[in-house]
Amino acid sequence: MISERSRTAHSESADQLARRALDALRGTGGAAVAAIHVEAAAAEAGGDPAVALGAVRILGADVLAPYVLTGQPPPAGDTAAIGLALSALPPDETPPPAPPAGTEEAWIMAWIDWGLAAVQARLDPADAPVRTAPLPQGPPRCDDATPRNLPPTTHADGGAQEGWVSWSVRMGKLASLALPGLDGPVHDAARAGALGLARGATRATLRRDHPTAARITRWLAWLRADGVALPLDPAPLTEHIGLLGGGDRPALDTAVARRLLGLEDL
């Protein structure tokens, strides 16, 4: 069982790693992201490299977002650090089922692992046979005809559906998958649920839930880059959220969204 102290340490480490990735994307940091983070934890008094590797798994494919979005190859140190993070506690060979059949936390972690391994394999093909994660089950679908707060339920056709509130929040937790070159059942769900994502981003913004707003708006930016027609323009929403702050991870989500939309660099 993970203690609250351990959760806090991993969350703080993930925030620091997001800051490194953001600096690399903006061109103000060094070339490496994951390797520097793990090395700094090893050198720091009281630091824990295991926690730093755990942060790599929490951030997922966003560790490699600066390389995906700039076209620069990741340094060997980064790919080695990510490989170590994936091998230290390998993803389950049989991913957990999607809600409502399975627990949300385990299912989301399985998708984040898949995204990290998939991007790593694309950027470093020589490592592809070694660092893999199985494709998890797709998410419930967003049904605009159902009540907005309907929890995941099994539909008559055997699939799962739910209202747009919980669906959009859960999709936001998978925002690290909203990167060029990644595609799968989660991305298909985003394409089919553009209205639900637009509603979710608007709701989170009005509620001043900046982290959730940044994550969901990033999906809207990915959809725009993918050529999907949207019920709102994500560009002004992205710029607005970028002015609100909210921490390192929301700032990274906003920076990725700006790149996807082709907005002027920060």
**C-alpha angle 37/42/45, rounded to 5°?**
115
Looking at per-residue confidence, does 93 or 53 come out higher? 53
- Report whether pLDDT(85) > 50: yes
Tell me the pLDDT tens digit for each residue of 119-172.
999 998 775 545 578 899 999 889 777 667 767 676 655 567 889 999 999 999
Q: Is 3 exposed, middle or buried (0-12, 13-18, 19+ CB in 10 A)?
A: exposed
Tell me the pLDDT tens digit for each residue of 206-255.
999 999 999 999 999 999 999 999 999 999 999 999 998 779 999 999 99
Tell me the pLDDT tens digit for each residue of 17-55.
999 999 999 987 667 899 999 999 888 756 788 999 999
